[in-house]
Amino acid sequence: MRKSIKSILGTGLAAAMALTMVACGSQGGNSGSSSTTKPAASSQAASSQAASSGNSGAEGKVLNVQVWNEEFISRVTDHYPGYTKTDATSGKIGDVDVKFTITPTKDNAYQNNLDKLLPNNAKADANDKVDIFLIEADYALKYVDADANVAMKLSDVGITKDDLSDQYKYTQDIVTDKNGDIRASSWQACSAGLIYNRAIAKAVLGSDDPAEVQKAVSDWSKYNETAAKMKAAGYLMTATANDTFRVYSNNVSAPWVKDNKVTIDANIKKWVDDSKAQVDAKQTGTGDLWGDEWKAGFKAPGTVFCYFGPAWLINFSMGNAPGSDKGDDGSVAYQGGWGFCEGPQGYYWGGTWVCAANGTDNPTLVKDVIKTMTTDKKVLKEIAMKDSDCVNSKSVLKDLAGSADGNNKVLGGQNPYATLAAGAEKVDMSNTCPYDQGCNEAFQSAMKDYFTGTAASYDAAVQAFQKAVKEKYPSLTF
Amino acid sequence: MAKSSTAVAAVPRGGSKVTRYNVWGYIFLIPFIAVFAIFTLVPLVNTIYNSFFENYVDGLRQIGPNFVGFDNYVALFTSGDLPKYFANTMIMWVLGFIPQILVSLLLAAWFSNPSLRLKGQRFFKTVIYLPNLIMASAFAMLFFTMFSNVGPVNSMLQGMGIISEPYAFLDHAGSTRGLVALMNFLMWFGNTTILLLSGMLGISTDLFEAAEIDGANGTQIFFKITMPLLKPIFIYVLITSLIGGLQMFDVPQILTDGGENPQRSAMTLIMFLNKHLFSKNYGMAGALSVILLIVTAILSFFVFKMTASDEVKKKRK
């Protein structure tokens, strides 16, 4: 008896193992995976057909939207007319189901997902076709590339240059392909400036008035002089050298890569020289953005004179706003202790662009979503008021600059919109290339070793940079 | 079973009963062989095959696969990176392994010594094993925060007046490697202790008692009886730790955020491999994997040969 129990157990185990093996095998193999997904897809198709059997819809029943966080979902939920929310990542517009798919940005996961889906989008099942996807400036050029052709030209979607005329030029430059076609549109204009600690400005510069502070930082030589004054008074100019990197790198005279050759622009080299001098003089640190060292200056009374950032940094990242129901977090922001001015050079930070995926089966709806969310002035004003986005509309920003609606509590009641609007006009993003993100990251981390003195010389740091770039982009040369 | 075996015995269709039972042995081996072939052998062959091709993506453009022969290997060896990252890996492994094996031996000897009559053994065995249960990445994040310029370690040292300015632990090669070694030590000494302890408990107590009667002291017992008999377990620990060390990745990757600072001094071979996967560079990554496989095989062979040489000699006699 005992023996037979053992044998049953034995065969059972063997069977279980064989089963798992078969299951694994079929998941690994191509034929297996398609056979497992097909039933689900066809049942979905059947149910949606049943649901909409009464109408003659020539377009798809499902609007698939690829996103990396819930920002766009909440903008659509709050501001797109006729959108009804079903749950956190889905809703309905009329009788079309809207499905948002969130893939986090980290470790390239979002881009990898797009890379898998977009090239085969035309062949995908109707309900799985990607209709809209979002991109960030750092890798925008990869997806608006004319040869890759994964994002539709806005002119083909049905959005004309006239529709986009109220947008800032730089937001279009970033998403323009080599033939001059615009392939994406944004509701944000993240022009940025210099955010300074008012108390420190008063103590060292004698005034916290934005116009007066701007005089002390209006170009890089004045900025460096002020940094020395700050150090003498016991304050850091910026928390880390990386704070100013975007300001320099947005104002280059040539892109990182031209004809597969990487060059370090004069303005980037200037960032290295200025920063090295400041780090050596202990006027700034070498920590990473978003690190503990960087954030240390957010705490009241503050040891850091200034940060560089756009409206969203002021509103969401520097601490609770005065009177916020989250209470006093001991931040400078809670005391309304920051001021805002333009800084040495115009630049921008962040922003989300909306693309129409090539191969979409909902072209009409896609057009309407993009047009409404990124060009409708009423919607944009609502977004600015409710979500504090610096919206991509010259006339709306002008409105806000002239009214108390635009006053910001974190900035002690200052209205930053006139400065933001002026900054957005000045941003020049014609010198972007698809390799920007990788080059910027590799350059900053290589230069960190030069600033801290771990790398013997600038040349050694440049070699480390070239090595890192070569690993990321094997086709580039120096 | 009884029924079926009699049936088999009753109908002998050629071949003895032994060979017929052997068939069952092979049948039971099939699941393992199949799993091994699908998940290990095929990827292995595929990796070697891939290493001879230029094959990566540039944005959305796929470059290759173009056959390039040994170009990937040549590029790896001529750039001079390989010896550097191999050295980094080994330095950090040795720095962590030496204290780990010493502390583990000591703890295992204490735990296994019946004359000490240690109380609360179970509790301590659990406690020293605990660090191994923390996810390596979480552990590395913790150290990253603790040893940052504005972290608790620096403020403590400053508070005690030992240093006047924060020491940037992660900006110096020595301290970065040291931290990685420290973390690996903390994570793995409990595991090693348990392994060595089981080895020590497997040694017959007769031998210890006989040695005691003969007047051997504690040190003599440890070196003349425990250590020689512990050798098989010791070799096992050494080899697994060495292979684990060569595959070191998560701790230094998170602690140094990709390993580019300071001066790539904490970049291990697997972190280097990971860099090539940014551009899905299967050719280069494949070549590096093949080199790693060869290095691992050679090292394991040497360690095994070195520590097992006595036994081999004995068997030959």
Looking at residue B3, what is its pLDDT? Answer: 44
Looking at residue B4, what is its pLDDT? Answer: 45
Could you report the per-residue pLDDT of B28-53, keeping only the tens digit for each? Answer: 999 999 999 999 999 999 999 999 99
pLDDT band at A4 (very low <50, low <70, confident <90, very high): low
Q: Where are the domains of chain A?
A: 58-189+351-400, 192-346+406-472
Could you report the per-residue pLDDT of A220-269, keeping only the tens digit for each? Answer: 999 999 999 999 999 999 999 999 999 999 999 999 999 899 999 999 99
CATH number of A58-189+351-400: 3.40.190.10
Which of B148, B261, B278 is facing A445, going by the closest CB pair?
B261
Rounded to whole angstroms, the Cα distance separating A426 from A21 reads 61
Q: Which amino acid type is present at position B24?
A: W
Looking at residue A437, what is its pLDDT? Answer: 83
Mean pLDDT value across residues A15-40: 40
Mean pLDDT value across residues A310-316: 85
Tell me phi and psi for residue A89, to 5 degrees: -120, 15
Rounded to whole angstroms, the Cα distance separating B227 from B215 reads 18
Mean pLDDT value across residues A431-455: 89
Residue A310 in this model has a pLDDT that exceeds 80: yes
Could you report the per-residue pLDDT of B53-100, keeping only the tens digit for each? Answer: 998 887 777 887 889 989 999 988 888 888 899 999 999 999 999 999
pLDDT band at A324 (very low <50, low <70, confident <90, very high): confident
What residues of chain A lie within 8 A of the CB of B263, using their CB?
449, 454-455, 464
Mean pLDDT value across residues A78-88: 90
pLDDT band at A193 (very low <50, low <70, confident <90, very high): very high
Task: Produce one character per residue of A126-160: b if its CB has 16 or more CB atoms within 10 Å, e if not.
Answer: ebbbbbbbbbbbbbbbbbbbeebbbbbbbeebbbe
Please, are residues A442 and B275 in contact by the beta-carbon 8 Å criterion? Answer: no
What residues of chain A lie within 8 A of the CB of B58, using their CB?
473-475
Could you report the per-residue pLDDT of A340-390, keeping only the tens digit for each? Answer: 999 999 898 888 999 999 999 999 999 999 999 999 999 999 888 888 788
Mutate to test the interface with B, among A21, A24, A27, A469 (most CBs of B within 10 A): A21
Could you report the per-residue pLDDT of B229-238, keeping only the tens digit for each? Answer: 998 888 889 8
Decide which of B311 and B38 is more confident.
Answer: B38
Residue A51 in this model has a pLDDT that exceeds 60: no
Question: Does ipTM top 0.90?
Answer: no
Least confident of A344-348, B15-19, B113-117: B15-19
Looking at residue A409, what is its pLDDT? Answer: 85
Residue B257 in this model has a pLDDT that exceeds 70: yes
Looking at residue A306, what is its pLDDT? Answer: 95
Looking at residue B316, what is its pLDDT? Answer: 56
pLDDT band at B8 (very low <50, low <70, confident <90, very high): very low
pLDDT band at B14 (very low <50, low <70, confident <90, very high): low
Rounded to whole angstroms, the Cα distance separating A227 from A350 reads 26
pLDDT band at A203 (very low <50, low <70, confident <90, very high): very high
Interface membership of B145 toward A (CB under 8 Å): yes
Looking at residue A404, what is its pLDDT? Answer: 85
Looking at residue B42, what is its pLDDT? Answer: 95
Domains along the sequence of chain B with CATH: 79-316 (1.10.3720.10)
B171:A14 CB<8 A:
no
SS (H, E, C) chain A: CHHHHHHHHHHHHHHHHHHHHHHHHHHHCHHHHHHHHHHHHHHHHHHHHHHCCCCCCCCCCEEEEEECCCHHHHHHHHHCCCEEEEECCEEEECCEEEEEEECCCHHHHHHHHHHHHHHHHHHCCHHHCEEEEEEEHHHHHHHCCCCCCCECCHHHHCCCCCCCCCCCHHHHHCCECCCCCECCEECECCEEEEEEEHHHHHHHHCCCCHHHHHHHCCCHHHHHHHHHHHHHCCCECCCEHHHHHHHHHCCCCCCCEECCEECCCHHHHHHHHHHHHHHHCCCCECCCCCCHHHHHHHECCCCECEEEEEHHHHHHHCCCCCCCCCCCCCECHHHCCEEEECCCCCEECCCEEEEEECCCCCHHHHHHHHHHHHHCHHHHHHHHHHHCCCECCHHHHHHHHCCHHHCCCCCCCCCCHHHHHHHHHHCCCCCCCCCHHHHHHHHHHHHHHHHHCCCCCHHHHHHHHHHHHHHHCCCCEC
Which of B60, B263, B275 is facing A148, going by the closest CB pair?
B60
Residue A35 in this model has a pLDDT that exceeds 50: no
Mean pLDDT value across residues A129-150: 90
Q: Which CATH superfamily is domain A192-346+406-472 in?
A: Periplasmic binding protein-like II (3.40.190.10)
Residue A42 in this model has a pLDDT that exceeds 60: no
Looking at residue B120, what is its pLDDT? Answer: 86
Which of B63, B262, B281 is facing A454, going by the closest CB pair?
B262
On average, the pLDDT of chain B sits at: 86
pLDDT band at B239 (very low <50, low <70, confident <90, very high): confident
Could you report the per-residue pLDDT of B175-193, keeping only the tens digit for each? Answer: 999 999 999 999 999 999 9
CB pairs under 8 A between A and B: 100
Looking at residue A213, what is its pLDDT? Answer: 94
**Identical topology for domains A58-189+351-400 and A192-346+406-472:** yes
Which of A293, A448, A455 is facing B148, going by the closest CB pair?
A293
Q: How many CB atoms lie within 10 A of CB A339?
A: 26
Looking at residue B314, what is its pLDDT? Answer: 59
What residues of chain B lie within 8 A of the CB of A108, using their CB?
278
Interface membership of B279 toward A (CB under 8 Å): yes
